[in-house]
Structure formats: structure tokens, C-alpha cells
Amino acid sequence: MIMTILRIRSVAVGFAAVAATVTCGNLGGIASAAGGAPASAPHPAPYPAAGTGSSVRATLVVSDRSGAAAACTPYVDGDHAHVSSGDVSVHGWWYRNTCPNTKTTVYVGLQEYYSDGTWRTKATGSKYVYPGGGSANRAVARHVCESVVTAGWRSYVIVHIGNGASAYTPAQNLACRTVQ
């Protein structure tokens, strides 16, 4: 029984390799089993699910149980990645929810999508701010657009107060790309 399962798995893997070869061929994608073409290096690419609703905000887990705010639960927000003055830019801020109206540090990161399915951080920023957002109470991350070729962009926002909070913003395909 075990040998049969292993044989079925290896046949399935063989079919997957053939399907990958037929689908990608020698077009510079993954290495072709038949043609032996070299795999291309990962490069910035459009995010396939941008604007479809499938890139809903995802929450990261962050916690800091120090001080008087240990029992509070803040929440974070950020704007969509956007092009501004030749840069791709994001902003992040926090809301107090059950936390005291005190300053804390907001961390924001700007990420670009790559053809290998990974997100790579291109810029980070932080700012010690009160809750509520607005131009005086938000952190910013910016990166120079090196090309107008479309690429996927998103941000993450993290705050360490009470139970902490963090989130990714929905991915956006923008006419802004890094060279590598």
C-alpha cells in the first residue's frame, strides 16, 4: 500500500514537471526540463491579485505587555501605496481603542512584490506619535521609482503598546519599479 502511494506521488510529480515545461517552455521563466534553459532571477513584478479583493488586510501578531498600557488593545491603519513626486510612498498610524491617549512609536515598511511570489522590504520608517493619524501623527516610508514598469506594492504597519497591533495594507499595482 505504501509503495503504491509513493508511485502515485512520483507520477503526479512527473505530470507537474511536464505541465510546467509545457506552460513555461523556454520563455525565460522557470528552468525547462526539456530545454535546459536557466531560471531567470526573481525580479519586481505586478501582484496578480491586486484590486480583486483577495488582498484583504492581514493582521500580524505583535505584543508588548510593559507599563500601564499592558491591558490595552490598539489597532493600526495605513494608506494604500501610491506614487508621489517620483517616489512610491506609504503612511501608517494607530488608534487607541482601549489604550491611553499617549505617544508610542509607529513602524511602517514598504514592500515590493517579486516574480518568485515574495514581498521584499524596500524602505522603512518610524515616528513617535499620538493616536489618531493625520499628517502630524503618522509614520512614512518612501522609495525612489527607478522605472515606470508596473510592480506590486504594499505596506505593513506595527505598533508596540499594550497587546500591540499590526497589519498589511492591500496590494496595489503601480507604475513604479526598482531595478532589482
Q: What pLDDT score does 11 carry? A: 33
- Specify whether 87 is located in the same domain as 164: yes
- Specify whether 17 is located in the same domain as 88: no
Which one has a higher pLDDT value, 19 or 165? 165
Q: What pLDDT score does 122 carry? A: 97
Contact 107, 90 (CB under 8 A): no
Measured in whole angstroms, the distance separating CA 120 from the mean position of its chain's CA atoms is 7
Q: Which three cell numbers stand for residue 7?
A: 508511485
Instruction: Indicate whether 36 belongs to any domain.
Output: yes
Which one has a higher pLDDT value, 114 or 31? 114
Query: How does strand 119-129 pair with strand 139-144?
Result: unpaired
**Is the pLDDT confidence value at 115 over 70?**
yes
Between 53-57, 79-83, 119-123, the lowest mean confidence (pLDDT) is in 53-57
**Is the pLDDT confidence value at 86 over 90?**
yes
Instruction: Write down the number of H helices and E strands in the chain.
Output: 1, 9
- Specify whether 89 is located in the same domain as 3: no
β partners of residue 93: 77
Range of the domain at 12: 1-40
CA 91/CA 73 separation, integer angstroms: 21
- CA angle at residue 91 from 109 to 61, to 5 degrees? 50
Q: What pLDDT score does 25 carry? A: 34
Predicted confidence (pLDDT) per residue in 21-79, tens digit: 333 333 333 343 445 556 789 999 999 998 765 433 555 544 444 554 568 999 999 99
- Specify whether 92 is located in the same domain as 150: yes
Instruction: Indicate whether 50 belongs to any domain.
Output: no
Helix (H, G, I), strand (E, B) or coil at 122: strand
Between 5-9, 92-96, 138-142, the lowest mean confidence (pLDDT) is in 5-9
Predicted confidence (pLDDT) per residue in 126-173, tens digit: 999 999 989 999 999 999 999 999 999 999 999 999 999 999 999 999
Contact 148, 92 (CB under 8 A): no
Phi, psi angle pair for 139, to nearest 5°: -95, 155
The H or E element containing residue 123 is: strand 119-129
Measured in whole angstroms, the distance separating CA 147 from the mean position of its chain's CA atoms is 20
DSSP state at residue 24? H
- Specify whether 105 is located in the same domain as 18: no
- Specify whether 83 is located in the same domain as 16: no
Residue 17 identity (one-letter amino acid): A
Helix (H, G, I), strand (E, B) or coil at 3: helix
For the chain, the domain total comes to: 2
Instruction: Indicate whether 167 belongs to any domain.
Output: yes
Instruction: Indicate whether 179 belongs to any domain.
Output: no
Between 5-19, 106-120, 134-148, the lowest mean confidence (pLDDT) is in 5-19
Q: What CATH number is attached to the domain comprising 106?
A: 2.60.40.10
